Structure 1
């Protein structure tokens, strides 16, 4: 079967640095840091006091008050982003074959906030008195389900739960699903909202989060003083379409999606393979999938979490795949601005890659101060730069050893 071409025609997002896709991208261009003291709860007695929360968020500003009440925050974010993506794409359900339109939206943790609240309620009143909406609000797939209900998309509806790689899996799986002829359009991405006492405590206990108290020295990927990631929240949803389907309705196109690779380290619950070989295989697979050469790639949006193991291992992986060309690559981490949005991270970063290709702009790794010999790539320190870009790769490496890479190409009509 001939492989069909797939393009990005719509984008929506709500992130720690913007309430829309355009606002978030403008903040990336300006090097805005979304890290700040935790406001969701009183963290005074906790070791970790910083997070990258969605700022000034009021559900009723985006959603009907009654419908918002029956959605966990992560689902609210997904629905908000999906609505924006459809508006941005000027996509009309009335003119589409909705049986050939689907949804793949990831969440790594789901409705943890509601789980904590209902557990407290159960302890106080008895567990038979918890909300009847608890289960359908908390399960990870409900963001995908609500997006499908909202859009009326009746094709495949799924939720990859692959930790920090989930958003990339969602976008990559949607790309293959369209490319191989099973759908004409897919809403895909990720959503997460886990800035809660239990999540912060759990990640702190396993020493994954930084305890830094200066927002400008907390999420510092590739910096020698990095000491863990900053937990972020938010969502991004992209509308992917088969090229001829998009052209037939006169859609604008941000970028073409051309390659996807997914592998597993099969090594450790949380630690990546030290040599980065699992991630390297995913990158190489994405290149092969696109019939692209390493030298074609100009920019990599790295997983770049600001943990010692990830950043060093990912650097080794890039060198293994790209050889001498690695020295010419720009390899930045926008997590320096957004924090680590877990199941939403890969989707947000895929969106940033699409915008980078469209605008010819490479995002910076902000707040970078102390070089690390183990991370000696061009990390685009502190200030983004204008540059002609042809291909951009986005990496995600998750707990459980999940690795995902997607390759995007600049759209040229």
Structure 2
């Protein structure tokens, strides 16, 4: 089975723009958590989010594209441009695009409903449908570059970005496309969405922003919603080498399985999360002992982290000194459909630099973990195989294995 090379990466995040800016933010232990506009601390309503700061799409996009899109599409288009530039590639007309998102333009819909109720029908944006529909991000990437290859959008909750990459890998391996632009994006901020999370117990509403998102910490109470995108250029390894491209990393295994347990909670034993990890490892042609590091999903919710810790323990056994595990949620919050793709961006950095970023807000790691949870500072090691997990609502359990080229 052909390995698939990643030759370009682009990132929009709350801690930095571009792959280098993103990595610099992680290495510095930066966190993007900010007080949300709908917080009312004087009333005891402590709300936090992790937005992309000072984002002006007109720095990169023409006026027509800006007015016809909202943030989730804008992030994806800009990150795709970054990835293509890094890859040194002018895409051909048959290049494919595969995109993942969980909420797409949900915040735009919420905003439009508010305008309808407060200002009347004429205030509803006339381009609302083309701004909010999930497939428009991929569509704008294709239109921007004149692409006529496979065009696909997946919405598998928080696994969407990783599943988009997994589908892109299959397109390359099958020969349906020589090159695919793939990844995920998210921007789902609004008071009504936050209140729903709070009512459902997904967010803790704590007063201290550093306690708002604490992956694998014994004190964790819930997630912080984040925004951003990560997009990549994928191509066959031989194709990449033939054109003299620098290979950032190789996707050698990917799997997606269903929990079939609950609309939001994972199966408590982590059985099916472990199964997705094992299938990805087997497809990669390696053993659990070959995996050096994991970019975990680690949402900072009590049930979610417990299940993933159990799954990692099941797959890898006792490896407190040789299996190093991190997560991005303490830095950028939970970026929904972009989270797995952002994890792949981290994996590429680790494979190239030998540095696995730490969890900046985690200080009291779960004692149940039989692996090294990376806190305080990045871990430096000879990393050659990294696994990325992405687990979404409705039991969307996905995992990917990446190697050095």
Identify the TM-score tier after normalising by the shorter chain: over 0.9
Residues 16-95 of structure 1: pairs in structure 2 closer than 5 A? 16-38=14-36, 41-44=37-40, 47-93=45-91
- What is the 5 A alignment of 1:119-268? 119-124=113-118, 127=121, 130-268=124-262
Q: 1:312 aligns with which of 283, 306, 317?
A: 306
Stretch of structure 1 that moved more, 150-159 or 162-171: 150-159
Structure 1 residue 345: Cα displacement: 0.4
Q: After TM superposition, give the deviation of residue 125 of structure 1 in Å.
A: 5.8
Between the aligned partners of 1:284 and 1:396, the Cα distance in structure 2 is 14
Query: Under a length normalisation based on structure 2, what TM-score does the superposition of the two structures give?
Result: 0.95
Instruction: Kindly state the Cα deviation for residue 367 of structure 1 after the two structures are TM-superposed.
Output: 1.9
Residue 390 of structure 1, aligned match among 384, 389, 396: 384
**Farther-moved stretch of structure 1 (338-347 vs 145-154):** 145-154
SS at match of 1:374: coil
- The residue number in structure 2 matching 1:297 is 291
Q: Which runs of 5+ in 2 are unaligned?
A: none
Secondary structure in 2 matching 1:329 = strand
1:325 shift after superposition: 4.3
State the Cα distance separating 1:295 from its structure 2 match: 0.7
Q: 1:317 to 1:383 in 2, by over 3 A?
A: same
The answer to whether the 8 Å contact 1:301/1:392 transfers is yes
Flag structure 1 segments of 5+ consecutive residues without an equivalent.
none
Query: How far off is 1:363 after superposition?
Result: 1.1
Q: Deviation of residue 163 (structure 1)?
A: 0.7
In 1, Cα distance between the equivalents of 2:361 and 2:110? 34
Aligned positions of 1:324-403 closer than 5 A? 324-325=318-319, 328-403=322-397
Paired residues of 1:72 and 1:113 also in contact (CA < 8 A): no
CA distance in 2, matches of 1:376, 1:289: 24
Q: RMSD between aligned alpha carbons? A: 1.6
TM-score by length of 1: 0.94
1:274 equivalenced with 2:272 (yes/no): no
Distance in 2 between residues matched to 1:152 and 1:321, nearest whole Å:
44
The CA distance in 1 between the partners of 2:376 and 2:261, in whole Å, is: 34
Cα offsets for 1:243-298 (capped at 9, x unmatched): 12212221111001100010110010000000011111100110111111111100
Query: CA separation in 2, counterparts of 1:143 and 1:220?
Result: 31
Deviation at 1:197, TM superposition (A): 1.1
